[in-house]
């Protein structure tokens, strides 16, 4: 799951001005390119597995759908590795979480276990994010480079690095709260309600986390005197 250090601009490109104005600039692809990059990553990590699940479930039920989704994501991961020599973090996360979910569903065949996969998936994501948060390569920084194409200044910036670590802890907390909420729902609500809540909590948590991270990132840029531009 390890990916290259998030998008540092090459020192050769900055020349002797690595501590000048260019060192205070972060770069994003132009909007159309950004949309294409993010869309491609989401399609690989989410769209293709969902399509595989729907096809498999239509033929053989939930278990077959989970197996199909897992096969699709691992085939995509292998193809990525062979073609580009790298594996995007979002794709690796999708493969790990789907594998965990599929093993649970196929091994038991239980409706309860099928529902249990949702809080357990959130626990797994919480652990993945929390594990990288205190390191030099927090997962949010990796995802920002891979999914959004964010390129950081050539010179490390303490305020920016601290933001990525703290934002990674934020997402770990979001997944932990989602897992706890879904576990409570499983103990108090019907299977149909839990399934709807799982979809709502997953989508709502992702939207809320992304919005909060974006606002926070904007404030960090302003406070640190950093600028964002499209290239």
Residues 184-218: tens digit of each pLDDT: 888 887 777 887 888 788 778 888 888 898 899 88
pLDDT of residue 15: 38
123 contacts 179 by C-beta, under 8 angstroms: yes
pLDDT of residue 176: 93
pLDDT of residue 151: 81
Q: Exposure string (b/e) for 212-231, b if CB count within 10 Å is 16 or more?
A: ebeeebeebbeeeebeeeee
Regions of the chain where pLDDT drops below 70: 1-23, 111, 154
pLDDT of residue 74: 95
Residue keyed to tokens 């950093």: 226
pTM confidence score: 0.70
pLDDT of residue 23: 52
């Amino acid at each position: 799951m390890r990916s290259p250090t998030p998008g540092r601009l090459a020192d050769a490109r900055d020349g002797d001005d690595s501590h000048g104005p260019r060192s205070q600039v972060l770069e994003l692809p132009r909007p159309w390119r950004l949309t294409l990059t993010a869309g491609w990553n989401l399609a690989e990590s989410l769209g293709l597995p969902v399509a595989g699940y729907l096809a498999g479930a239509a033929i053989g039920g939930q278990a077959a759908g989970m197996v199909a989704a897992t096969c699709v994501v691992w085939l995509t991961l292998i193809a990525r590795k062979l073609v580009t020599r790298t594996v995007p973090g979002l794709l690796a996360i999708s493969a790990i979480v789907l594998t965990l979910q599929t093993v649970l569903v196929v091994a038991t065949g239980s409706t309860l276990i099928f529902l249990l996969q949702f809080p357990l998936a959130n626990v797994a994501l919480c652990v993945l994010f929390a594990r990288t948060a205190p390191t030099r390569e927090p997962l949010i920084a990796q995802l920002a480079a891979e999914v959004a194409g964010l390129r950081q200044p050539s010179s490390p910036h303490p305020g920016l690095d601290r933001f990525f670590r703290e934002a990674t802890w934020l997402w770990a907390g979001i997944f932990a709260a989602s897992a706890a909420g879904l576990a409570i729902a499983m103990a108090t609500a019907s299977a149909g309600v839990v399934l709807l809540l799982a979809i709502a909590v997953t989508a709502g948590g992702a939207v809320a986390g992304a919005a909060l991270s974006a606002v926070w990132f904007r404030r960090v840029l302003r406070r640190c005197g950093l600028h964002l531009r499209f290239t």
